[in-house]
Structure 1
Amino acid sequence: MMFARILLAGLLLSASAAAHAADTIRLAVQKTGTVSWELKVIRDRGLDRDAGLDLEVTELASPEAGKIALRGGSADVIVTDWLWVSRERGLGARLLFYPYSSAVGAVMVPSASPITTLADLKGRKLAVAGGPIDKSWLLLQAAAKQDGIDLRSQASIAYGAPPLLAQKTLSGEMDATLNYWNFCAALEAKGFRRLVGIEELLPRLGAKGRVAMIGYVFDEGFAAAHGDAVARFIAMSRAAKEILASSDQAWDAIAPLTGAPDAATLRAYRDRYREGIPRRPIADEEADARALYRVLAATGGAEIVGPAAELDPGTYYRGLPGG
């Protein structure tokens, strides 16, 4: 706890924070997302007060609702991926991205499954969360093609909602599932094993490290008018992450929000969340995102990236000191 407060104090000094009335930031988040975990830590530990911020939080049913809120002007900050930000910039929106988490999904199989390689998925039933243009699914296809495997045609693919597909995999209706990281963690706690994590495939696709696929997203105009508040917001988020990285007791406090049915699942959430805390320089994040963007463009086409062949050069927020 002391370390987190020291971190927050240092970041606030670097952002030239001064004593003043709290600045309001309107945050639109998915009700069941991990941002709600951080927000509880922030409020319980008074990190918002320390940062001089008044957070107005709107809980939404889906990530798409957050995008609508941001574009419609009813939210200042949301959490989504850099791919959407780059695409929107290509269409004229001046949005910015700052890394939030590098936790990504995995291909999960039952512990006793004979499937041990991507090639073993040939002829198998593979459940894919997020639909045919899901980023993890496109990246998995690209990596498999390097081994001469066309998963889309050589496996039996079923698309659907993450919780439904996780249940179908548990019941044995599917041989494997590519799902979001928290559902994979829950399967892991039930004895399933990771055939491959998407983060393990990224070096094969041109990335040099773990890439934060999702981040805080806000408008350029908001950042220009409230740069100091944005810096304090990001510092506050970092401090909350450090508490969750170092304190197991903090996880006991947020356990009801995670929906974890037992201690094993909570531990799996904790460990995978901690692995996904971004710690890389923005320049490295952006370089890897640029490489992965090209892979996604080649695999998913304009349907996923829009008309731009390259990541928009203004996608990443660099308004922090040293950033």
Structure 2
Amino acid sequence: MKACLARILMLAVLLAPFASPAAAADPATIRIGVLQYGTVSWELDVMQRMGLAEREGVRLEIVPLALKDAASVAIQGGAVDVVVNDWIWVARQRAEGRDFAFVPYSRAIGSVMVRPDAGVRSLADLRGRRLGVAGGALDKSWLLLRAHARRTLGEDAAQLVKPDFGAPPLLNALMLKGELPAVLNFWHYAARLQAAGMRELVGLDEILRSLGVEGDLPMLGWVFREEWAARNRAALEGFLRASARAKQLMRESDAVWEELRPLTRAEDDATLAALRQGFRDGIPGDNQVQAERNARRVFEILANEGGAELVGPATSLPAGTFWHGAAR
């Protein structure tokens, strides 16, 4: 017994130099506000199931939220430390004097999907027809589509089509029933439509290219207060490393997605494959200089389309919107 204990103690001494400082300390807790059934929960599940956050000395406390607006309220009120939001929201907050910052999480937003029997081969073919639109009149996908139509057709999409604003699941259901010829929906709903045989008409990359924006543009990111980040820098950077590792696993391993299947609520293999590919396509690149440059350009476009109702008092992308404190 004493010999066994001695071997255990000796092994601990030998391994001690290789233990990470983060793992040796008590874990720091990060409260993350997450929409119930949202796609962010997939990555967080991988982080927790694989112990990626724990290895960085971070304990994740998941705070489920019912609505997108609840995430904004929760982080402004200090109920959570981190949420996922877009840099447009962060820019408006900074313009109004609040110190929120953004680290890229995903470049996936929405796309226009059409029924194969609708006789639609181009955006112009939707003239005078109904287009289901998720997210409301100030949704960034809709505003970018309006700018795209003006650039390519010389006509605002708001006049070209008859927009029907609605909840994403309802729009999908109406399209599958044949009551809508096309919808502009969030990426994971578009992926489900693709799996059901619908066709992508216009995607984000095509829209951005038509507006003179080339290269990577992450639209969603981890959002937090700079003041909180300064006090919890090691924990935040550990969390971001864990996030990057989770994305790597989700990009490279199909087995990871099999474990995620219940969480995705994919009805069949085709749906799971579409969701998997959509998530992978949305993983942002590493060129943050390019990402910020593109964000500044797109901010001007969105400000022109949405006005103060969307961007508040900001006239350009405020300095510090993209956080530069992450370890490289």
Which TM bucket (shorter chain)?
over 0.9
RMSD: 1.4
Distance 2:81 2:164 in 1: 36
Instruction: Give, in whole Å, the separation in 1 of the partners of 2:159 and 2:202.
Output: 20
The Cα offsets for residues 78-129 of structure 1, whole Å up to 9 and x where unpaired, read as 0000000000111111000000001121100012331111111101111100
Residue 161 of structure 1 pairs with residue 167 of structure 2: yes
Per the alignment, residue 5 of structure 1 pairs with none
Q: Which runs of 5+ in 2 are unaligned?
A: 1-18
Cross-structure match for 1:127: 132
Aligned to 1:49: 54
Q: 2:25 aligns with which of 20, 24, 48?
A: 20
Identity %: 45
Mapped contact 2:216–2:290 kept (Cα < 8 A): no
Matches of residues 161-180 of structure 1 in structure 2 within 5 Å?
161-180=167-186
Q: 1:232 aligns with which of 229, 238, 241?
A: 238
Name which of 83, 93, 115 aligns with 1:110.
Answer: 115
Worse overlay, 185-194 or 53-62: 53-62
**Superposition deviation, residue 54 in structure 1:** 0.9
* Bigger-Rg structure (1/2): 2
Provide the C-alpha distance between the structure 2 equivalents of 1:57 and 1:95, rounded to a whole number of angstroms.
20
Query: Matches of residues 62-211 of structure 1 in structure 2 within 5 Å?
Result: 62-146=67-151, 147-211=153-217
- Letter matched to residue 214 of structure 2: K
TM-score, normalisation: structure 1: 0.93
Unaligned 5+ runs, structure 1: 1-11
Aligned partner of 2:288 in structure 1 is 282
| Aligned-residue offset at 1:26 | 0.7
In structure 2, the residue matched to 1:257 is 263
**Alpha-carbon separation, structure 2, partners of 1:280 and 1:42:** 20
**Residue in 1 aligned with 2:13?**
none
State how far apart, in whole Å, the 1-side matches of 2:275 and 2:292 are. Answer: 27
Count of residues paired in the alignment? 309
Distance 2:97 2:212 in 1: 28
Could you tell me how far apart the structure 1 residues matched to 2:306 and 2:163 are? 16
In 2: Cα distance, 1:54 partner to 1:189 partner = 36
Query: In 1, distance between residues paired with 2:156 and 2:181?
Result: 17
Shift of 1:76: 0.5
Does the Cα contact within 8 Å between 1:202 and 1:210 map onto a contact in 2?
no
> Residue 271 of structure 1 is aligned with which of 251, 272, 277?
277
Are residues 1:294 and 2:292 paired?
A: no
Contact 1:104/1:197 (8 A) holds in 2: no
In structure 2, distance between residues paired with 1:103 and 1:85? 18
Contact 1:223–1:230 (CA<8 Å) still a contact in 2? yes
Q: Normalising to structure 2: TM-score of the pair?
A: 0.91
Which residue pairs with 2:252 in the alignment? 246
Q: C-alpha distance in 2, partners of 1:206/1:63? A: 30
Q: Which amino acid aligns with 2:195?
A: A
SS of 1:158 mapped into structure 2: strand
Question: Which range moved further: 205-214 or 181-190?
Answer: 205-214
Partner of 2:24, secondary structure, is: coil
- Alpha-carbon offset, residue 17 of structure 1: 4.9
Separation in structure 2 between the aligned mates of residue 102 and residue 297 of structure 1, nearest angstrom: 19
Following the alignment from structure 1 to structure 2, what is the Cα–Cα distance between the partners of residues 216 and 207?
23
2 CA distance for matches of 1:193 and 1:182? 14
Contact 1:104 1:199 in 2 (8 A): no
- Whether the aligned pair in 1 keeps the contact of 2:23 and 2:55 (CA below 8 Å) is no
> What do the CA deviations read for 1:253-311 (whole angstroms, capped 9, x no partner)?
01111111111000000001001111232211111111000000111111111111101
Match of 1:32 in 2: 37
Q: Tell me by how many angstroms 1:237 deviates.
A: 0.4
